[in-house]
């Protein structure tokens, strides 16, 4: 076309028409609004609700679970799902529903711990690298690249081999794997925010670097990091399951979904429920974290936000 592609009616920085000004300068996300908008995104809202239930279940596992997780009952071995044992029982006669409920605590705790570690370390690295740039950026990010270049499972196995298995070490291992992911996301976001005029304006009144970082850069760089957190939680739960499946994570007799999956594998042709229910639990949790992450991405992105608020889908 000779003419012009459709210009945004009010995209100009100077005095121009802005019949649709509000769509150009969408209010930046804030908590109340974010929650309100999230509620209007049904998929994400349902995912969030399921996750809240899961967490509540994990917190009150002793009360929720019908039986103890390790109560062996030889008479009830390999029972199919029934009213007494809705998810059936395993080869030692342990109630699978109870073990899934208690496994939620183990799986989610490892997931949260791992992501918390990755978030704190990774975001700090990304923040410093993005904000200071130059050699700080070069040194930190090359180190992250090296970390990133290791195959994730191998890295986790190495950590566990050195420190020994167990929930805490599993979380640490998974956390280390995810540090570079958070570092990169944070750095990219900080690079954008760092150049904002309001950061310069704040510097011009004498604000210290610490103040700039904590009051201006981090809050404005947060949305992608929040999204990454939700998605990483899904991967962390999966990773815990994988490591436990390999025998490196949670140790028996403690129930963890991955471990239960591994234990149920041998019985898959005679007692499918041993592997099916922990598998479903993993599936549901991962799906919900991913859906929530996608929902947050939409809600926290000012452009997406306007579309949704405008109801123009």
Partner 1 sequence: MSSVFLDKGSAPGQGRRDVLVSARGLEVHFPVRSGGPLRRTTGALRAVDGVDLDVYRGETLGLVGESGCGKSTLGNALLRLVPPTGGTVTFDGLDVTAMGRRQLRDLRRRAGMVFQDPFASLDPRRTVAQTVSEPLEVHRLHPGRQARAARVRELLELVGLDPAVASRYPHEFSGGQRQRVGIARALAGEPDFLVCDEAIASLDVSIQAQVLNLLRRLQRQLGLTLLFISHDLSAVRHVSDRIAVMYLGRVVEVGPATAVAAEPQMPYTRALLSAVPLPHPALERSRQRIVLRGDVPSPARVPSGCRFRTRCPDVFEPCPDVDPALQAVGSAPGHVAACHLHGVVGTPVRREDPAAPAGAGDPAR
Partner 2 sequence: MTAPLLEVEDLRVRLRTPRGPAAVVNGLSYTVGRGETVAVVGESGSGKSVSVLALLGLLPERVATVTGSARLDGEDLLTMSPERLRQVRGPGVGMVFQDPMTSLNPVLTVGRQLVEGIRAHGEVSKAAARERAAGLLAEVGLPDPQGALDRYPHELSGGMRQRVVIAIALANSPALLIADEATTALDVTVQAQILDLVESLQADHGTGVIWITHDLGVVAGIADRVLVMYGGRCVEDGTVDDVLERPAHPYTRGLLGALPDLAGDGGDLATIPGTPPAPTDLPGGCVFWPRCPVRGDARCETEQPPLQVVGAGLSKGLPHRAATWCTEGSAR
* Beta strand segments in the chain, E: none
Q: List the x/- string, 261-300, binding to partner 1 by CB under 8 A.
A: ----------------------------------------
H helices present in the chain, as ranges:
21-24, 31-39, 42-59, 61-64, 96-132, 134-149, 152-163, 167-194, 197-204, 209-211, 218-245, 257-265, 273-300, 302-309
Query: Binds 214, which of partner 2, partner 1, none (CB < 5 to 8 A, cut-off by type)?
Result: none
What does the radius of gyration of the chain's CA atoms come to, in whole angstroms? 24
d(CA 13, CA 58): 52
The nearer residue to partner 2, 25 or 215, going by C-beta atoms, is: 25
Q: Is residue 204 near partner 1 by the rule CB under 8 A?
A: yes
Binds 84: which of partner 2, partner 1, none (CB < 5-8 Å by kind): none
Using CB under 8 A as the criterion, what x/- string covers residues 58-77 for binding partner 2? --------------------
Contacts of 277 (CB under 8 A, 6+ apart): 87, 88, 96, 97, 100
Nearest distance from residue 128's CB to partner 1, in Å? 20
Q: How far is the CB of 146 from partner 1 (least distance, A)?
A: 18
Residue 41 φ then ψ, to 5° = -105, 95
- What residues between 64 and 123 interact with partner 1 by CB under 8 A? none
- Alpha carbon distance 233, 140 (integer Å): 24
The rounded distance, in Å, linking the Cα atoms of 261 and 263 is: 5
State the nearest-atom distance from the C-beta of 313 to partner 2, in Å: 10
H-helix or E-strand spanning residue 295 = helix 273-300
Burial 33-71 (b: 16+ CB within 10 A, else e): ebeebbeebeebbebbebbeebeebbeebeeebebebee
Per-residue contact string for residues 282-311; x = within reach of partner 2 by CB under 8 A: ------------------------x--xx-
Q: How far is the CB of 301 from partner 2 (least distance, A)?
A: 14
- Residue 281 CA to residue 237 CA, distance in Å, equals 10
Would you say 21 or 215 has its CB closer to partner 2?
21
Of 163 and 200, nearer to partner 1 (C-beta) is 200
From the list partner 1, partner 2, none, pick the one residue 219 interacts with, judged by a Cβ distance below 5 to 8 Å according to partner type. Answer: partner 1
* Residue 246, H or E segment: none
Residue 169 and residue 174: Cα distance in Å, rounded? 9
Site string for partner 1, 130-169 (x = CB under 8 A): ----------------------------------------
Q: Which stretch binds partner 2 (CB under 8 A): 5-13, 131-139, 248-256, 258-266?
A: 5-13
Give the C-alpha separation, 237 to 139, whole Å: 31
Kindly tell me which residue out of 155, 207, 226, 284 binds partner 1, with binding defined by CB under 8 A: 207
The C-alpha atoms of residue 223 and residue 227 are separated, in whole angstroms, by 6
Residues in touch with partner 1 (CB under 8 A): 13-15, 25-28, 30, 196-198, 200-208, 211, 215-216, 219-220
Query: Would you tell me which residues interact with partner 2 (CB under 8 A)?
Result: 1-7, 9-12, 14-23, 26, 306, 309-310, 312
């Amino acid at each position: 076309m000779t003419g012009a592609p459709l210009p945004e009616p009010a995209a100009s920085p100077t005095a121009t028409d802005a019949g649709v000004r509000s769509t150009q300068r969408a209010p930046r996300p804030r908590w109340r609004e974010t929650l309100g908008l999230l509620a209007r995104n049904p998929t994400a809202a349902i995912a969030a609700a399921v996750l809240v239930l899961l967490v509540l279940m994990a917190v009150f596992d002793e009360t929720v679970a019908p039986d103890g997780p390790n109560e062996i009952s030889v008479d009830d071995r390999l029972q199919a799902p029934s009213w007494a044992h809705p998810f059936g029982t395993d080869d030692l006669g342990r109630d699978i529903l109870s073990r899934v409920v208690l496994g939620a605590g183990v799986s989610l705790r490892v997931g949260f711990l791992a992501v918390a570690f990755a978030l704190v370390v990774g975001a700090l690295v990304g923040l410093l690298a993005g904000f200071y740039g130059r050699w700080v950026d070069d040194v930190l990010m090359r180190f992250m690249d090296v970390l990133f270049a290791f195959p994730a499972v191998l890295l986790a196995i190495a950590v566990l081999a050195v420190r020994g298995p167990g929930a805490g070490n599993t979380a640490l291992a998974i956390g280390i794997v995810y540090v570079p992911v958070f570092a990169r996301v944070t750095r990219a976001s900080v690079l954008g925010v760092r150049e904002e005029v309001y950061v310069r304006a704040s510097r011009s009144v004498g604000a210290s670097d610490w103040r700039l970082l904590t009051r201006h850069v981090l809050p404005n760089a947060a949305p992608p990091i929040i999204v990454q957190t939700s998605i990483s939680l899904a991967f962390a739960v999966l990773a815990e399951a994988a490591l436990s499946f390999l025998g490196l994570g949670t140790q028996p007799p403690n129930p963890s979904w991955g471990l239960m999956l591994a234990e149920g594998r041998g019985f898959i042709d005679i007692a499918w429920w041993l592997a099916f229910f922990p598998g479903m639990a993993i599936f549901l949790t991962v799906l919900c974290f991913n859906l929530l992450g996608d929902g947050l991405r939409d809600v926290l992105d000012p452009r997406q936000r306007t579309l949704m608020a405008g109801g123009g889908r």
